[in-house]
A and B are shown apart, each in its own frame.
Chain A
Amino acid sequence: MRQTLLIFNKEFKDYFASPIAYIVIAIFLAFAGWLFFSTFFLYDQAEMRRFFDMLPFLFALLVPIITMRLFAEELNTGSYELLLTLPVTLRDIIFGKFLAAVAFVAAILLPTLFYALSISWIGDLDWGVTIGGFMGALLLGAAYAAIGLFTSALTRNQIIACIAAIVICVALAMLDQMLFFFPPPALDVLTHLSANAHFKNIAKGIVDSRDLLYFFSIAFLGLYATHLAMEDR
């Protein structure tokens, strides 16, 4: 536990030691802010639902950028050898890195709480729904981070890790909009596999255990696959 925290600490600080963190945060806030507020006043509703609605897609592009270096960089420079010969277990390493990525997703979301505050000044915002939405967004980020961690464990090349994770995350995000490609019997299953379909409920303010289970399963599968991939090295 102590080792997990130490690795988390190091990885989280590392994000802010390089410019990537600030670039990712700036891009996210610029895009999300513009997409959200450009139509916000047209709808004339004091809610953040439209902001949350675009997160599955936006995160699918951003989270892989956050996670791509976690293992790929260490494998490339060889520092993984030093890390693994310290008294830490593979589980400590994976959890530490995963938590650092999730904490960074939280750091990205933090400034958008300000959107909620501004909306509550000018209208009647339902805080329960909004907080639920933020929690869901964090879960979504965690699920994507586990996928990104897995692809990062597969290769020494950060770019490949990033693109592979983007492909998987975008596929999960868009699955429910691409259903017309698939034969009708598969539709039901595929809808349930789509991150967007599950996140829509959360964005609406409905916290259903099935949706939570979905994101927890994705995160668990990602971490487990990472463990298998790293154990093999």
Chain B
Amino acid sequence: MIHVEGLTKYYGDICAVDHIDLDIHKGEIVGLLGPNGAGKTTTLRMLTGYFTPSAGRIQVKDSDMNEDPLSIKQSIGYLPESAPLYQSMLVYDYLDHVARIRGLRGDERFQRLQALTDLCGLREIMHKPIATLSKGLKQRVGLAHAMMSDPEILVLDEPTSGLDPNQIVEIREIIRRIGTEKTVILSTHILSEAEATCDRIVIINKGRIIVDGTTRELTTGRQRAGRIQLALQGAEADAARRLLETVTGVQSAEIEAGPDGAILQATVTCRPGTDVRADLYGAIKATDWVLLEMIRETQTLETLFGELTRES
């Protein structure tokens, strides 16, 4: 569906995107993951035809971006980060304007506007100026903009950034619903978001692809050193460290006095591929300490990155 070859973008001397090769198939939801400044937005801007690449080729279906950008733009719906819509227009006027530019006429246009109003939940705000909308509502209008021509490919740049938790859930829900029949490419710097919505994750750092794999491969296939945090009451620091380090599978334990002194915060690092929670609990149960908390740290993007860059 989308074929990208040697895609490169320079800003002056700075190389933002460095020879990216990517093939995206029909019906995939692809998450472009990376820290800020990794080149995600630049890549998406080139895919949508906003930026001209310094080198490389973009092919969508059978069209080449250099030769026939209009037909590619016709089949891509794009929502840039923070949905920069025309502030002074009313939501209805804006969507109507987009529908006309997208070439929808008469009844067809009216029906499409109706359908999008329902899908994105815009009925109440249809006659409000865009400038007065909250960020979440603007994002929904932006989604309606992107889906106007019922495009085969949807490109979303950080669709949930700056939204509150409820809005994030709503937007993800909409994306999943669209993703059942469309090809979706979205960028994010939140790993859990990519896990929750994408079939395939592409991790970019410093303009290069470091990892490209299905979500399942990335989250379960690799064996990582896990970390567990404990809060202990009535324990003494040295004794606690000695005890925790005797548990099989534990690599090291760090102890810190908690804010009020009585509670110790312990961070246990365990060997890859082991689950030591039961053994830890057993060891603590044998003492007279009280176990207040036991939290397995969820893998953050930072730790994943650390590992991935070390591996390569």
Cβ of B249 < 8 Å from any Cβ of A?
no
Q: Does A18 contact B (CB under 8 A)?
A: yes
Given A17-B88, A77-B84, check contact A85 B50 (CB 8 Å).
Answer: yes
User: Are A86 and B50 interface neighbours, CB within 8 A?
Assistant: no
B100 contacts A by Cβ under 8 Å: yes
B192 nearest CB across to chain A (Å)? 27
Asked if residues B74 and A82 are in contact (CB atoms below 8 Å), the reply is no
Q: Is residue A128 contacting chain B, with contact meaning CB distance below 8 A?
A: no
Contact A87 B145 (CB under 8 A): no
Considering the chains assembled together, what is the distance between the CA atoms of A81 and B146 in angstroms? 12
Contact of A89 with B by CB under 8 A? yes
Nearest residue, chain B, Cβ from A78: B84
* Contact B84–A79 (Cβ < 8 Å): yes
A3 at the interface (CB under 8 A from B): yes
Given A78-B84, A82-B85; A87-B101 close (CB under 8 Å): yes
The interface centre, meaning the residue of B45, B70, B145 with most chain A CB atoms within 10 A of its CB, is: B70
Contact of A82 among B71, B80, B102 (CB under 8 A): B80
> How many interface residues does B have (CB within 8 Å)?
25
A14 is an interface residue with CB less than 8 A from chain B: yes
A206 within 8 A of B: no
- A87–B63 Cα distance when bound, in Å, is 14
Interface flags, A121-161, vs B, CB<8A=1, else 0: 00000000000000000000000000000000000000000
- Min Cβ gap A148→B in Å is 19
Q: Chain B residue with minimal CB distance to A76?
A: B84
B271 at the interface (CB under 8 A from A): no
B85 to chain A: which residues have CB within 8 Å? 79, 82
B50 touching A3, Cβ below 8 Å: no
How many residues from A make CB contacts under 8 Å with B? 19
B185 to chain A minimum Cβ distance, whole angstroms, is: 13
- Give bound CA distance, A87 to B48, whole Å: 10
Q: Does A84 contact B (CB under 8 A)?
A: yes
Please, how many angstroms separate the alpha-carbon atoms of A82 and B94 in the complex? 12
Shortest B162–chain A CB gap in Å is 14
- Specify which chain A residues have a CB less than 8 angstroms from the CB of B87 in the assembled complex: 77
Question: Quick one: given A6-B100, A10-B97, are A85 and B73 in contact (CB under 8 Å)?
Answer: yes
Chain B 86-116, CB within 8 Å of chain A: the 1/0 string?
Answer: 1111000000011011110000000000000
Residue of A nearest to B70 (CB): A87
A-facing mask of B103-131, CB < 8 A → 1, else 0? 10000000000000000000000000000
Cβ contact within 8 Å between A87 and B84 = no
Q: Which residues of B contact A89 (CB under 8 A)?
A: 70
Q: How many A-B residue contacts, CB cutoff 8 Å?
A: 53
The smallest C-beta distance from A190 to any residue of chain B, in angstroms, reads 38
Chain A residue numbers with a CB within 8 Å of B74 are: 87
- Is A88 among interface residues, defined by CB-CB distance under 8 A? yes
Residues of B within 8 A of A14 (CB): 86, 88-89
What residues of chain B lie closer than 8 Å to A84, measured between beta carbons?
49-50
Complex interface: chain A residues within 8 A of B82 (CB): 78
C-beta contact mask, B58-72 vs A, less than 8 Å → 1, else 0? 000000000000110
Q: Does B76 contact A (CB under 8 A)?
A: yes
Which residue of chain A lies nearest to B88 when distances are taken between CB atoms in the complex?
A17
A78 to chain B, nearest CB (A): 3
State in angstroms the CA–CA spacing of A87 and B97 once bound together: 13
The CA of A88 and the CA of B103, in the complex, are separated in Å by 11
Shortest Cβ distance from B83 into A: residue? A82
Q: Do the beta carbons of A85 and B78 come within 8 Å of each other?
A: yes
Contact status of A85 and B49, CB under 8 A, knowing A3-B101, A6-B100: yes
Other-chain residue from A6, A17, A18, A81 in contact with B101 (beta carbon distance below 8 A): A6
- Of the candidates B78, B88, B97, B98, which one forms a contact with A18 in the assembled complex, judged by CB atoms under 8 Å apart? B88
Please give, as numbers and ranges, the residues of chain B lying within 8 Å of A2 by CB-CB distance.
103
Asked if residues A79 and B86 are in contact (CB atoms below 8 Å), the reply is yes
7 tightest A-B CB contacts, nearest first: A78-B84, A87-B73, A85-B48, A85-B78, A87-B74, A79-B84, A81-B80
Identify the B interface with A (CB < 8 A).
Answer: 45, 48-50, 70-71, 73-74, 76, 78, 80, 82, 84-89, 97-98, 100-103, 145
14 additional contacts (CB under 8 A) given A81-B50, A84-B49, A85-B78: A2-B103, A6-B100, A77-B84, A77-B87, A78-B80, A85-B48, A85-B49, A85-B50, A85-B73, A86-B98, A86-B101, A86-B102, A87-B70, A88-B101
